[in-house]
C-alpha cells in the first residue's frame, strides 16, 4: 500500500491573463489530497473517495465490472472525479509499462472541489505518484507534473494550463508563462482562504474574458495590466528573503497588488457578489490584500494575513461557507506511507 499526498494552490497573481501569454504566480498551499494505492491482480480499478467535498462514493471499473456509484452527489461531480482518476491510472500504467495493472485506490482530500484551489490536479498528481511507486516505477516530481498535465489535458479536452499540476507536484511558489513553468523563491506567505461553497464555470468565464478582450481595446489593456502587476509582484518576491517570515512592508506591497488584481478581474467580469463580499470582509479585518483565486464566478478568495483576524471575519461573513488558513506549501507531492 502506497500513500502520496499533493497540495492544492491559490493564484497570488495572474489568472485569466495567463491564458493570453502573460505570466502568473500560483502558490501551493497546505491543503492536500491523499491518494492510497494498492495494486490488484485482476486489472480492475476500485476507487473509494471518502471526502471530495461530497458525501463520498465507491466505484469500480475495468475488467467485466462497470459499476456506477450510488451516491448522494451530483452525477457530474462524480463523473469528473472518476475521469481524473481514470486518466491518472492510464498515465501510471504507461509510465510503469504495465498496461494491465489494476488498483484499489482511496482518495481523501481537504481541498474544496471545483473552487479554484486545484483539487483535481492534486488528486491526479498524488495518484500518479502513488500508483507508479506501487508498481515499483517511481518518477521524478518533474515527470509526475508532466504526466499529470497530460492527464488533465485529456480530461479537459485540451483546456488545461500547466499551472495547477506543476504547482501541486513541485510545491512552493511557481511562475507560469505559456508552456514555461518553473519554481521561484518566496517567503512563507500567510494565506487565508474564504470559500463561498460554490464555484464558477471555468470555460464560460474564460470565454467571457476572451470576448471582452476582442471587443474592447481597454479590456485587452486590462489583461496586459494584470501581466504588469504580476511582474511587479515577481520582483517583490525575488527581492525578499525566502527563508524568513515576510516583513510587514512586503505583505503590504503584495497585498496592494492583490487588491489591484481583484479590481481588474472584476472589471473583466469574473468576480461575483459573494467573492466581492468576502474580499471586503478580509480587507475590513485588516488583511494586507485580498482577491479571488482561479477562474472566479464563485468559489474562493485568498487574502494575506498573519493574524487570526481575516479567518475569523470570513467565518462570520454571510457569503462565506468556510474559511481556513492555508500556508504556502513548500513541499509538493510527497510520500506519506511507502
Ligand atoms: O479555477 P482554476 O484553478 O482552474 O483556474 C483557472 C485559471 C484560468 O487562468 C482562468 C484558466 C487557465 O487555464 O489558466
Residues 107-129 have pLDDT tens digits of 888 888 778 899 889 999 999 99
More confident position, 308 or 73: 308
Parallel, antiparallel, or unpaired for β 180-184 and 65-67? unpaired
Domains in the chain: ranges and CATH: 2-185 (3.30.230.10), 191-326 (3.30.70.890)
Q: Which three cell numbers stand for residue 189?
A: 506567505
pLDDT reported for residue 75? 59
Separation CA 299–CA 129 (nearest Å): 28
Q: What are the backbone angles phi and psi of residue 255, rounded to the nearest 5°?
A: -60, -40
Distance in Å, CA 119 to ligand 1 centroid: 12
Closest ligand 1 atom to residue 16 Cα is: 9
Separation CA 283–CA 69 (nearest Å): 43
pLDDT reported for residue 50? 63
Evaluate: CB of 37 within 6 angstroms of ligand 1. Answer: no
pLDDT reported for residue 338? 85
Give the number of other Cβ atoms within 10 Å of residue 165's Cβ. Answer: 30
Q: Which of 204, 295, 297 to mutate to test the pocket of ligand 1 (most atoms within 8 A of CB)?
A: 295
Q: Read off the pLDDT band of 269 (50, 70, 90).
A: very high
Residues 154-207 have pLDDT tens digits of 988 877 788 999 999 999 999 999 989 999 999 999 999 999 999 888 889 999
Q: Tell me the whole-structure pTM to 2 decimals.
A: 0.91
Evaluate: CB of 202 within 6 angstroms of ligand 1. Answer: yes
Alpha-carbon dihedral sign for residues 204, 6, 55, 291? negative
pLDDT exceeds 50 at position 10: yes
pLDDT reported for residue 11? 98
Instruction: Collapse the DSSP code of 33 into the 3-class scheme (helix H, G, I; strand E, B; otherwise coil) and give the result.
Output: strand
Place of cell 510503469: 96
Q: Read off the pLDDT band of 74 (50, 70, 90).
A: low
Residues 238-264 have pLDDT tens digits of 999 999 999 999 999 999 999 999 999
Distance in Å, CA 19 to ligand 1 centroid: 8
Separation CA 291–CA 259 (nearest Å): 6
Closest ligand 1 atom to residue 14 Cα is: 9
pLDDT reported for residue 168? 98
Evaluate: CB of 209 within 6 angstroms of ligand 1. Answer: no
Evaluate: CB of 118 within 6 angstroms of ligand 1. Answer: yes
Separation CA 19–CA 71 (nearest Å): 35
Q: Which three cell numbers stand for residue 103?
A: 488498483
Distance in Å, CA 24 to ligand 1 centroid: 10
N-term to C-term CA, the chain? 7
Give the percent of the chain with pLDDT over 90.
77
Burial class (CB in 10 A: 0-12, 13-18, 19+), 18: buried
> Which positions ≥6 away from 134 have C-beta within 8 Å?
1, 2, 37, 38, 39, 103
- The single residue of 164, 196, 261, 305 carrying the catalytic annotation is 164
pLDDT exceeds 90 at position 144: yes
Distances (CA, A) of 188 to 27, 200, 243: 10, 29, 8
187-188-194-200 Cα dihedral, nearest 10 degrees: 50
Distance in Å, CA 2 to ligand 1 centroid: 30
CB 11 within 8 A of CB 24: yes
Closest ligand 1 atom to residue 270 Cα is: 10
CB 107 within 8 A of CB 34: yes
Place of cell 468565464: 205
Mean pLDDT of the chain, nearest integer: 91
pLDDT reported for residue 34? 94
pLDDT exceeds 50 at position 54: no
Separation CA 46–CA 25 (nearest Å): 36
pLDDT reported for residue 61? 58
Evaluate: CB of 206 within 6 angstroms of ligand 1. Answer: yes
For ligand 1, atom 11: residue with the closest CA: 16
Instruction: Specify the range with the lowest mean pLDDT, choosing from 74-78, 220-224, 283-287.
Output: 74-78
Give the HSE-up count for residue 83: Cα atoms under 13 Å, Cβ half-sphere: 14
For the question of residue 72 being annotated catalytic, the response is no
Give the number of other Cβ atoms within 10 Å of residue 66's Cβ. Answer: 10
Amino acid at each position: 500500500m502506497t500513500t502520496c499526498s499533493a497540495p492544492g494552490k491559490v493564484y497570488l497573481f495572474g489568472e485569466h491573463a495567463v491564458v493570453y501569454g502573460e505570466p502568473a504566480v500560483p502558490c501551493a498551499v497546505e491543503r492536500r489530497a491523499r491518494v492510497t494505492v494498492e495494486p490488484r491482480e485482476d486489472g480492475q480499478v476500485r476507487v473509494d473517495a471518502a471526502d471530495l467535498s461530497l458525501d463520498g462514493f465507491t466505484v469500480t471499473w475495468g475488467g467485466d465490472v462497470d459499476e456506477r456509484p450510488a451516491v448522494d452527489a451530483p452525477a457530474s461531480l462524480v463523473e469528473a472525479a472518476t475521469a481524473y482518476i481514470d486518466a491518472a491510472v492510464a498515465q501510471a500504467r504507461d509510465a510503469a509499462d504495465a498496461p494491465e495493472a489494476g488498483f484499489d485506490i482511496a482518495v481523501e482530500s481537504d481541498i474544496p472541489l471545483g473552487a479554484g484551489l486545484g483539487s483535481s490536479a492534486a488528486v491526479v498528481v498524488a495518484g500518479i505518484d502513488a500508483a507508479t511507486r506501487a508498481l515499483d516505477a517511481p518518477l521524478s516530481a518533474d515527470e509526475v507534473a508532466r504526466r499529470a498535465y497530460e492527464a488533465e489535458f485529456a480530461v479537459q479536452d485540451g483546456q488545461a494550463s500547466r499551472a495547477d499540476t506543476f504547482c501541486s507536484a513541485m510545491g512552493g511558489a511557481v511562475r507560469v508563462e505559456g508552456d514555461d513553468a518553473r519554481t521561484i523563491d518566496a517567503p512563507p506567505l500567510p494565506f487565508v482562504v474564504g470559500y463561498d461553497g460554490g464555484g464558477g464555470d471555468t470555460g464560460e468565464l474564460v470565454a467571457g474574458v476572451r470576448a471582452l478582450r476582442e471587443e474592447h481595446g481597454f479590456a485587452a489593456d486590462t489583461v496586459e495590466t494584470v501581466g504588469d502587476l504580476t511582474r511587479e509582484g515577481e520582483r517583490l518576491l525575488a527581492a525578499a528573503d525566502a527563508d524568513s517570515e515576510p516583513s510587514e512592508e512586503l505583505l503590504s506591497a503584495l497585498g496592494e497588488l492583490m487588491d489591484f488584481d481583484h479590481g481588474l478581474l472584476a472589471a473583466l467580469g469574473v468576480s461575483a457578489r459573494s467573492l466581492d463580499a468576502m474580499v471586503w470582509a478580509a480587507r475590513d479585518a485588516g488583511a494586507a490584500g485580498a482577491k479571488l483565486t482561479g477562474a472566479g464566478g464563485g468559489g474562493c478568495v485568498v487574502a494575506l494575513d498573519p493574524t487570526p483576524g481575516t479567518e475569523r471575519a470570513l467565518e462570520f461573513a454571510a457569503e462565506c461557507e468556510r474559511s481556513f488558513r492555508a500556508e504556502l506549501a513548500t513541499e509538493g507531492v510527497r510520500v506519506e506511507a511507502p
